[in-house]
Amino acid sequence: MAKIHEFSVPALEKGEIRLGDHAGKVLLLVNTASKCGLTPQYEGLEELHRTYGERGISVIGFPCNQFGNQEPGGHEEIGAFCQRNYGVSFPISAKIEVNGKGTHPLWAYLKQEKSGFLGFSRIKWNFTKFLVDRDGKVVRRFSPTTKPEAIAAHIEKLL
C-alpha cells in the first residue's frame, strides 16, 4: 500500500505537487470550491498557512467540481479567484475527483485511512479536511462545516 508521501497531483498552474516534498511537515489537505457557501473558509485556511507555515505545516487545496457544479472554472479562473478574493498563497492542485470511479488515488487513500460520519468513506461535500502528522499518518478527518480556526488546536498538538 502506498504511503502519503508517495503521492503527487498535478499543480493548478504547472508542474506537480509532490507530497514527498512536504515530508516531515504536518499536512492539512482540503477539497475546495470557488462557488460554495463554504468558500469563505479559504480565508481561514490561508490564516493557518501563514500562522503555522514556518513551524512546519503545509496546507494544500484540491479543487473539485463534484458537488453542485461549484468549481466549474479552469485553472486560470480558479487561481485568479483564490488570489484575488482570499490572497491564497498555499499550493493548489489542478481539479480532481474525490468520489466515484475517477477518484484521485490520494483521496482514495485518505478516505481509506479516515472514514467520515457513521463510518462512511465518501466525501460529503466541499471543504472536507484531512490532518496528517509529520510521519505521514492521517490522524483526523474534519467535516466541511468545521471552520479552519477550529482545527488550530489540533495542529498545535502535532507541531
Which amino acids are annotated catalytic? 36
Residue by residue, DSSP assigns the chain as: ---GGG-EEEBSSSSEEEGGGGTTSEEEEEEE-SSSTTTTHHHHHHHHHHHHGGGTEEEEEEE---STT---S-HHHHHHHHHHHH---S-BBPP-B-SSTTB-HHHHHHHHHS--GGG--S--STT-EEEE-TTS-EEEEE-TTS-HHHHHHHHHHH-
